[in-house]
Structures are given as C-alpha cells and as structure tokens.
Structure 1
C-alpha cells in the first residue's frame, strides 16, 4: 500500500513554489484574521526597519505575535507544519477559508481574500494535535499570491456533492482577488479531505501549477492560466514537485509494470505532455525544491528499501549523482533538505548534515566533524548563503551554507523556519507563532 506523499514546501522569498478571526488574535476558521496578541499598534506609516541579507541575528525582545494559523508546533515548541510564506516584511498565510497578508513587523493585517466554498478540512490548523497534512504555504511572486485548499462543492439538484481543489489568486500587494478555480478531485460525495495535502507548486507567467494529494486515494495535478484561472491541463495519479524552466517534474503513481511502484515523470509546463521518465522502480519519491539546474529526488528503492538522494538532468532525466542513505522510511526516507535560494542544498540524513552545490551536486562539506570537534546542528531553515538552526544544547546558531563554518553563535535570538531580510518566523516556547525582527 502506498504511503502518504508530502512534498516539502519551498519557503522564503522564492517561488519554485488563507483567515480567521475570533477577535483574540489566534483566529478561527470563520473569517479574516483578527488582532494578534503581542502585535505592535498599527501606525499610519510603516516604521523604519533594520534589514540584513542574510540576517545573522534576530531581536528576541521585539517579537511580534502572528496569527495562530501561520504554523503548527509540537508540545516542545518545535515547528512541524508551516502555512506562511514570508516575502520581505509581508507574511502570506493560508487558512481553510481565506488567504491573508500580514505585516510581520507590526502584526497588522494588510488584506484578506476569502475562499468561496465549504472548507473540506476546516479544523486542520486548529486543535491540540499536530497534523502533517493540510495546505502548503502560498506561492508568491511580484504580481500574484496563490494558494490552494480543499473545498466541498454542495449537491445541486440530482448532482451529488463532491470534493474540489480550490485555487485562489490575488494581487500580492493590494489583495484584490484575481480569480478562484475549483477543480473536482473526487467523485465520492462522502470523501474526506482530512488527510489531504494541497499546494501551489509554481507560479509563472505561463502557468500556475497546483496539486491535491490524499494518501492512497487521489493524486491530482492541474495547470491553470495565470491571468484567468482557466484549466490548461489536468493529470491524475501525479503529484507535481519541482519546476525547471518549462519542464515540470513530479511523482507518477501510474506505473504500468507495477501499481505499487512510483517514478519521476517530466511534463511540459503549458501542454502537460510527457517528456521523460526517471528514478524508475521506486516505492516512494519526493521532489526536493532546489536549483532549477538539477532535479533532486528523495527516493526509496522498491527492491532493497534503501533511501537515496538522486540528482537528475532536468532535460533528459539522466542521473547526474546519487547518494545512498543509512535508513529511514516515509516519503522523505533519505532525510530533510533545505535550499538556500541561491547556490547550496543542505540535507540531514540520520544526523549527518551534508551540503551540496545546488547546480552541480558537488559535495561541499559535512558535519559532524570529529577531527575538528564539531557537531551537526538541528537545521530549521536556509536562506541566501546562511543556514539557521539550533545546537544540541538548544541554542540558536547560524552557519555559512557554503563552508559549514560557524557564522553567528551568540545572541542569535531565534532559530527561524522562514526568513527574509526583515525578519525570521518561528514558534516561541509555547508554540505561538512569532516574527523576530532582524537585529544584524
């Protein structure tokens, strides 16, 4: 039986790749996000803000509370799911009923765009339990902010209700709703979207790519016209994962020789026509967001069960490099990988942290390093040449992504999961979403 496929979202300011208010700031699933506890009072003009690219320290004493829907944390306060994209000083948050934009330095909501329809998974971002599924953060460009959620389309006369993937697009700055597209993903009127992943994988001037994935049941990818939201093509049994120019690569569940296998299949961005097939005879695959120069695949071999990290040529699917892991299970059996949006891909496999050149797959460095008496930190984010995380003792730290050397070790202030030149976002010790302004 196939396991749940969850593609790691690519966070930060790049796209490879919503709100709810009860008046208390945490929000609910019924409307726009309300006032946020700890937020700075709104002002008529944006306050002056310190910036750094990349930041090496954050002001822990000036944290700004964000909507509860921005992320999910476990009982230890560690972030396990993120629903916010940070672009400059604006956080774009997706909820079951709306997409919202918040100024993370003041906590002030900039705009809210409602999603028409009955939420297919209304409680995904609330309650005491951590759910690894749900909507992925919005994809944001200079022009558009686009997000996807499941909705239930009600019965109409003798036509039964059904589940749909709802994709909503808005002007990224003004919040003016551009369009909403509702695509049927299940004919089962009693289908449950509680274990679904919805994601806008990429936004370009040619197409918007979105996907719906629900365990062993449905896997649907759709390409939409960015101006109108009209469907360009749709493919079942396929999860889009990464974009490489006009080539889209994803996990293909429709393998003729064995229905239990998966493979990497490349499609034309605008046409949906198949270009090549690679990473054959896999039991599970996840496309890792990385530099467009390479397709990076987190793969489990069907025969041996061993996990691998593959680097493929996006034009042909030919294997450029391969790294075998020690063990693991699930859709990311090899481990978690972080792309710094510039030149470095860092992967954590069984406690071993390894950095690769994102364009060539050349190995750059590895931690731990016993000879130098250095251990591997717990990585939380990578951005513009910096690697963010925590030491084994729980202290925030910043490494140089290209060299692996310590870059900032004192008064770092926070270990963010999302970063821009204005702020870093993570959860406080109580699991509450906070934005920490840049200090250095």
Structure 2
C-alpha cells in the first residue's frame, strides 16, 4: 500500500486549575539536549540514495505490515533535514539519518501512561509546523493526570512543542481526555494532525469507536476548541477532515480548523478512511453498506461534496499521495486481477495525467511507494524505479531503494534482512 506523509464534543477540563502551558525553561528536564543531526546537502528531489542504510527500531513496523510485508499504514516518523523524528506515545527520538544514531530524546513533563494487561498505546508521526515564522515540532504524549485528595486520576494528552533544530522542548500544555479514555483496557493513539495558521490540531482515538480532537492556539498555548467523537486525519482549505461517530455509525466529516465548528458530514460507510490529499482534495475510501463493495472518491474539503472528476475504479483497492508540489500519484490493483496499476492526477483539478500499464508502449505499472516534489518512487520485479510525477515517464537513474518516506536528505525503505525479515531502514540521499 502507498503511504502518505501526511497524517487523526463536550468541553473538557484541563490539568490543574486551568488549561495552561509550561515553558521549557521552567520545566523539569524532558529531553536529552544533544543537538540534532546537522543538515546535509539537499537533493530536491533525490535521484539516488546510498545502498547502505541504518536500521530503525522494530517497533515502528508493529501493526502496519500485512502478510505480504507491505505497509498498510504510515510509520510514525517525520523527516526534518537529516534528522528522523521517531514517535512513540511516551517519547520521541531524534535519529541521525546518516548513521542511525540517536542524538536526542524528548519526553513528556507529566507521568507517561504505561502499557500493561495486553494494552498497547500508539502514536502517529510528530508534525512539523510553523509558529510565528519559525519551525516547530509538535508531539502529543499520553500521560496520567494524577488525582489529589478525593479527586480521581484521569488519562490526559500532553502537547509538547519543541525546537526541531536542537530537539529542545519549548513549551507544553496538558488536556484531560474524555471518560472513555480512562478505561485501563482502552488502547489509545495520539496523533499530531498539523496546523492551520496558529491553530494546532491533535487527535486521540481508540480504534474506530472513540476519538476526541482539540484545537490549540500555538501562540498563547491554550485550547480553543474540543470535539468529542471526531477524529481529524488531515487539514485542507481551513478544514480539519476525518471521521466522526454518530449513533454507532462512522461518517466522513469536516470541521472548521480554527473554531471546531461542523462544516459537513458524509454518509455512513464501512471500514472508511478519510485523509487530506494536498490543498484541494479529501480522499475518501470505504465500502457500501450491505455489499461492502469498495469505492474511492475525491471530496471538496470545504463542503464534503464529491468532485465531478471520478477516480479510476482500479484504485478502489489502493490509495494516493500528494507530491507536495502539483501532482497526486496513485497506486492500486486491477478490479479483476491483482496486477499493479498506477495513475498521475493533477492536484488542483483531479484530471488524469497518465496511467500504467500501457500496453502500446509495452510498459508495466510499478508498485508506487511514495512521491515527493515531482518525482514518484516505486518498484517492479526489475528493482527500484523513479518516474516523473507529471508525465509518468521513467527517469534514467535507479534510486537504488523504493522509499516510503522521503525528503531532500534521506529516504525510509523496507529492506529484507537475512533473506526474509522485513525491517525499516533509513538511507541518506546521494544525488
């Protein structure tokens, strides 16, 4: 499956007497303040990667590999310069992509939740946003809000904002989670969805049954809004898009990112996924009630209406990624076979630019793994390949790897070790 890097009520009571933030200078030590890795020469986009890489922690692949060793979800990793920020529910590690060394660890100021009795908490990738013109690393941690006297303890989410260049905590704010999160058997996932202007959006969810999303002012460090029952998965056109539950049914939905006010709600679906796909579209996948026949659609983020440009039916078993420039690159399997199909779509109109396989040109479709800045990456039985994202034409140089996440300094790719074990490695970009 293709992986996009991208990114998932009632008023809740914050920690202590009010929702406040704690400046890093006043906080207890929460990070090993070793400087993050210095930036290497940037290749925009990379044409080649080193053939030798550094293995990343095995935990990153838990629950996101299928039986064919394909990714079914994105690893909780964000690339920033030559640093890979690796997320977990109770810490973030800064890893030098040139050698795999951990250069810093960021931890919450509060008491982190612990796994136990079969419960495993998870985290999405940290988010890089801009606050007052400066880059910032946004990470939600799952923590315990300790009770005092007759006041009971509760689960909470601590939003930590750090300097991504030095991996140093700037400030933190803690928000109490709804009562459904207090059940010790509830497995929680905390996700930094992103930001719209000065509003940061964070979601904590449990499977597809419970979720809560917060909007936080990143300049005043205070909560602006809360939507219990809504899980944001992305932001586009000022809209936090995702899914919400109503009467035990899941619906695609959009809320104003600045205020949390509802903008639209879609029809109920089976096994739905909703994600922002660049600045102009929402990607909606699900199954029809009764038949559970799969479908895939592009929606307008502001209204939730289906765009007239329909996605090719072959992509109902696939998904798409925005190359962060001008193109949506999609991968799936044929409706009647399991053969790979690939499409390039204009990111502004949804119009099909190219498609593979192309029998007249004697070209097969690669398994697309990601796309970035005009270049699509993937693999065939002949090895790793790179395509021009706008035209679909083969580029002359093999990238050496098929990255699932890439920036100008490095790429992450699945690699077999000892002939059968699938591991996640990071490879420096070389050209």
TM-score by structure 1 length?
Answer: 0.77
Q: Which sits farther off after the overlay, 357-366 or 241-250?
A: 241-250
Partners of 2:36 and 2:384 in 1: how far apart?
A: 34
State whether structure 2 residue 96 is matched by structure 1 residue 97. no
2:233 pairs with one of 210, 232, 241: 241
1:386 pairs with one of 375, 396, 400: 375
Partners of 2:301 and 2:36 in 1: how far apart?
A: 48
**Matching residue of 2:262:** 274
Pairs within 5 Å for 1:383-422: 383-393=372-382, 395-408=383-396, 410=398, 412-422=399-409
User: What's the offset of the Cα at 1:297?
Assistant: 1.8
> In the alignment, is the contact (CA less than 8 A) between 2:154 and 2:176 conserved in 1?
no
**Matching residue of 1:435:** 426
> In the alignment, is the contact (CA less than 8 A) between 2:367 and 2:379 conserved in 1?
yes
**Matching residue of 2:330:** 347
State whether structure 2 residue 219 is matched by structure 1 residue 227. yes
**Matching residue of 2:311:** 323
Distance 1:241 1:392, change over 3 A: same
> In the alignment, is the contact (CA less than 8 A) between 2:370 and 2:403 conserved in 1?
yes
Aligned residues, how many? 389
**Matching residue of 1:358:** 347
User: What's the offset of the Cα at 1:420?
Assistant: 1.0
Pairs within 5 Å for 1:118-157: 118-120=111-113, 122=115, 134-141=122-129, 142-157=134-149
Distance 1:432 1:119, change over 3 A: farther
**Matching residue of 2:321:** 338
Alpha-carbon displacement from aligned partner over 1:391-418 (angstroms, at most 9, x marks no partner): 135x2111121122211454x3211111
Alpha-carbon displacement from aligned partner over 1:62-107 (angstroms, at most 9, x marks no partner): x234455555575977556512101221211112322232331244
TM-score by structure 2 length?
Answer: 0.78
Distance 1:66 1:233, change over 3 A: same
**Matching residue of 1:54:** 45
Distance 1:143 1:371, change over 3 A: same
Structure 1 residue ranges without an equivalent (≥5): 1-7, 18-30, 34-41, 328-332
Secondary structure of 2:344's aligned partner? strand
Distance 1:44 1:202, change over 3 A: closer
Partners of 1:179 and 1:392 in 2: how far apart?
A: 48
User: RMSD of the alignment, in Å?
Assistant: 3.4
**Matching residue of 1:253:** 245
Distance 1:152 1:336, change over 3 A: farther
User: What's the offset of the Cα at 1:432?
Assistant: 4.2
State whether structure 2 residue 288 is matched by structure 1 residue 295. no
Partners of 1:427 and 1:437 in 2: how far apart?
A: 14
User: What's the offset of the Cα at 1:424?
Assistant: 1.0
Distance 1:227 1:216, change over 3 A: same
